[in-house]
Amino acid sequence: MSAEPLALIVGATAYVLGWLYIPDLPFFRRFVDRRIEAERKAALLAQGNEFMRRRDGQLATLMPARLNRYHELARVCKDIEKATSESASGANDQALDSRLRKLEELMWTYLRLLTIEQSLEIFLETERREDVPQVVKEAEEECARLTGDIEKLKAGGSQASLDYKQRLLTSRQERLDVLHKRLQRAEQAAENLSLAVSEQERLDQQIKLIRADAVASKNAEMLSARIDASFQHLEQTNKWLSELAEFKDVIVDMPPADVRIGFGPQNQPPPTPEQVKRSKIVLKTKV
């Protein structure tokens, strides 16, 4: 019985001393560092997978013609990756990863532009079908006629008819205000559509120019400079995209820089030529 308190004291002392000194031991610190690094990598992997899931879902919404344009440019990026990897060495692997990461960001912006272009075209096609400018013109003429009728009734007419015409005019004027807003929104959408298409074309040509440099020169410094020059314009494009309030759902931040996401969808084949051909007439027959 007398040994038990001593054993408890010794055990408690060893336990306390262990927690005081073990954290400073090299093997324990390496164990903790490995565990922290494993958790960090797992979190990054989860972020990357979630981003790719959303990106692939966004690609799945594209009509075949636009999806084909994305796949074609993704193949250009893969050509750049192949050309740069062939000349890469262990000493510049980090620089290579940085260049490829910037290409991935260019492709993500290109995808957002495709998505916005498609949404704007569908919206504008709906407005064109309803011929909003003509509806606005007719509404303005109706309001002018009602205003004239009211002036005549004020000069001499029944109060009941006057009240009716005034209520009707108020209702038609409110309708006209809504139509003016629709017309204004359509005009803004047309401007945004033109800019989205122009930005797509610029990115397309810039990435193809990068491929030309990568294949022809095999000069890593020149390639980095070309990618950096293209990347400078990306900030302006992304700023414009962030200002399009109706497209907030496509403004998704990319995962951290040390997570590779690739250039194309994970499990989605490119559209067939027949699908691309059919998609070119979709907007003529379907909203």
Q: How far apart are the first and last CA of the chain?
A: 89
User: Which has the closest alpha carbon to 220: 77, 82, 99, 75?
Assistant: 99
Please state, in angstroms and as integers, the Cα–Cα distance from residue 63 to each residue in 20, 86, 192, 272, following that order. Answer: 63, 35, 19, 12
pLDDT attached to residue 286: 44
Cα(200)–Cα(188) distance, integer angstroms: 18
> Rounded to an integer, what is the distance from CA 200 to the centroid of its chain?
13
Alpha helices by DSSP H, listed for 243-287, are 273-279, 282-285
Contact 66, 278 (CB under 8 A): no
In the chain, where the domains are located:
3-128+193-285
**Average pLDDT per 10 consecutive residues for the chain, totaling 287 residues:** 54 53 61 69 78 87 93 92 70 67 88 92 92 94 94 86 93 96 93 92 90 76 74 76 69 69 65 52 44
pLDDT attached to residue 93: 61
Sequence-ordered list of residues with C-beta below 8 angstroms from that of 234, at least 6 positions apart, any chain: 105, 106, 109
